[in-house]
Structure 1
Amino acid sequence: MAQERAVYTHGHHASVVQDHARRTAQDSASFLLQHIQPNHKILDVGCGPGTITADLAALVPQGSVIGGDAVESVLQQASDFAESRGLSNITFQKIDANALPFEDNTFDIVYCHQVLQHVSDPVQILKEMRRVAKPAGIIASREADYKSFAWYPELPEITRWAELYQQVAKTNGGEPNAGRYCHVWARQAGFEPFQIDATWDCWRYVGQRARHFSISWNGRILQPGFLGTAVREGFATEEEIRRISEAWKKWGEDEDVFIAIPSGQILCRKG
């Protein structure tokens, strides 16, 4: 059975999970929402804290949603969140997306968000997503493109962070610029060009949301997936990483702060 080999650069520290829990289906899956029917069966691959998953479940009152992730602690948080929303058509389970534990042709929609950039073989993940989708079903993904980020104020430490992130993420086995490759990976996974709708969207964080993002990176850059890799590989010293961490906090305190986070999106039909 195939198993994930890449290291998740962000990790599951509270600074990461709390920021991910601010995501919604509207801001993270708007390209998919118009295709959802009330009786659909949906799989959310790499669901994290489950906020997007819960939003999807609310859209399929006669259907069901399964949220899958590789980390049990975040699945418990997702389950608690769904329960707090009173959703009874949603379940969560531990999975490895390289070998999904579902029969062929099971789901109307198979979706992942910010997952393919962190795996060693994104094409294999898409093949598995395609396998478990029903004929004429939808396989959808949204992936950030770190080289395309834009931000203000342009602190030199944040520029240095962007350089280091490229090195660290690739060393950990991922592809930080996944947004620009999604449509290529879909072709390699077996989709024909006419089955792939590739689009581009962007988060733009300002004010309090940008400050939340800065606090998140103030903490997550110090976690083993980033700091540990950077120091071990000689990309940076721990002292430099800690300076960048403090710069993230300073960046978020500027009244004109903003960051734009572009993502590539694919919506594929299974033939």
Structure 2
Amino acid sequence: MSQETLNPQARQMADESMFRNLAAQASAIWPQEAPLFRRYELPPGARILDAGCGTGEITARLAGLFPQATLLGVDVLEAPLRVARARHGALAPRVSFTQGSVFHLALPDGELDLTVCRHVIQAIPHPERALAELARVTRRGGRIHLLAEDYGMIHIPPRTLDPADFWPTAPREFGARTGSDMLVGRRAYAMMRALGLADITLDYVAVDTLRVPRETFAAIWEAWRDGYVDAIGQHTRFSAEQARRHFDDQIATIRDPDQYAAWVIPILSARVP
């Protein structure tokens, strides 16, 4: 299959708005996610892959969490990798970044102690194939760590507009038109079971207005707005202007100190038997 077919959101992923988004998401999620990584009890000198690493926000945090580990960040797009190398070059050679596809990793079988994949499988077709490739490169007894976005797990009260009119209708239609499943978080457990993975755990991170600074939360929504409204207008029943109004309305709610908003994100882990 072509690069475009396997990465239908390549234009959005390479836009500077996504770089802002990855930074805001890392700030919002990492404090709740880091304790999940600590549970894995990795060996000294562990080999870790960050598949779909983007700008290396989490690769660098993992390097700090596991100071004796060797880390490889892989992304299909060169633009975010240039940012990753520029921002985190001081971590070389223990941390490196290379271009590659999550569907065809240029690594031997059983190479890794921990394989991490975050904010990826909702944006690609055939997520089960990507998970199978992650399992292939992970050693027996090693762990897979998967953050699986699901845009049906967004809870924002009505303001001028009702977010329930937008979520999950827009992402469901967007995914159908681009060959991806933007509600894949609810299917990730079943996909891991189908691969025969063991000791599956499922935790939830809450990006909400109690656990995350409102401006950090709002920055995620602003980046989505800036990077996606035109594509939403192309692939869904919503025009770009309608999508923009929904995002702006929700951003106002997120910033409103009298309101509560939340995006719940499944994070799964499994052992390769």
Aligning the two structures, in what range does the TM-score lie when normalised by the shorter sequence?
0.7 to 0.9
Residue 115 of structure 1: how far off its partner (Å): 1.2
Residue 182 of structure 1: how far off its partner (Å): 1.0
Report the count of equivalent residues: 265
Q: Which residue of 2 is the match for residue 244 of structure 1?
A: 246
Cα 1:81–1:173, aligned 2, differ >3 Å: closer, same or farther?
Answer: same
Separation in 1 of the partners of 2:15 and 2:143? 32
Q: Which segments of 5 or more consecutive residues in structure 2 lack a partner in the other structure?
A: none
Runs of 4+ in 1 over 6 A off after TM superposition: none
Separation in 1 of the partners of 2:68 and 2:151? 38
CA RMSD, 1 decimal: 2.6
Residue 153 of structure 1: how far off its partner (Å): 5.4
Is the 1:2–1:99 contact (alpha carbons within 8 Å) kept by the matching residues of 2?
A: no
Q: What is the TM-score with the length of structure 2 in the denominator?
A: 0.84
Q: Which residue of 1 is the match for residue 57 of structure 2?
A: 51
* CA displacement 1:67-125 (0-9 Å, x = unmatched): 111111111222222235x5641001111101111111111111111211111011111
Separation in 2 of the partners of 1:241 and 1:26? 30
* Alignment of 1:8 onto 2:9: yes
Is the 2:48–2:72 contact (alpha carbons within 8 Å) kept by the matching residues of 1?
A: yes
2:100 to 95, 105, 118: 95
Separation in 1 of the partners of 2:241 and 2:9? 22
Cα 1:64–1:219, aligned 2, differ >3 Å: closer, same or farther?
Answer: closer
Cα 1:200–1:2, aligned 2, differ >3 Å: closer, same or farther?
Answer: farther
Q: Which segments of 5 or more consecutive residues in structure 1 lack a partner in the other structure?
A: none
* Alignment of 1:209 onto 2:213: yes
Q: Superposition pairs for residues 151-190 of structure 1, below 5 Å? A: 151-152=156-157, 154-162=159-167, 163-188=169-194, 190=195
* CA displacement 1:131-179 (0-9 Å, x = unmatched): 1111211112121222122124555253333121221133222212222
Separation in 2 of the partners of 1:37 and 1:258? 41
Residue 15 of structure 1: how far off its partner (Å): 2.9
Structure 2 SS opposite 1:144:
coil
Is the 1:221–1:227 contact (alpha carbons within 8 Å) kept by the matching residues of 2?
A: yes
* Alignment of 1:107 onto 2:112: yes
Aligned-partner residue type, residue 213 of structure 2: R
1:66 to 55, 69, 72: 72
Structure 1 SS opposite 2:176:
helix
2:38 to 7, 14, 33: 33
Is the 2:143–2:270 contact (alpha carbons within 8 Å) kept by the matching residues of 1?
A: yes
Q: Which residue of 2 is the match for residue 134 of structure 1?
A: 139
Cα 1:196–1:215, aligned 2, differ >3 Å: closer, same or farther?
Answer: same
Identity of aligned residues (%): 21
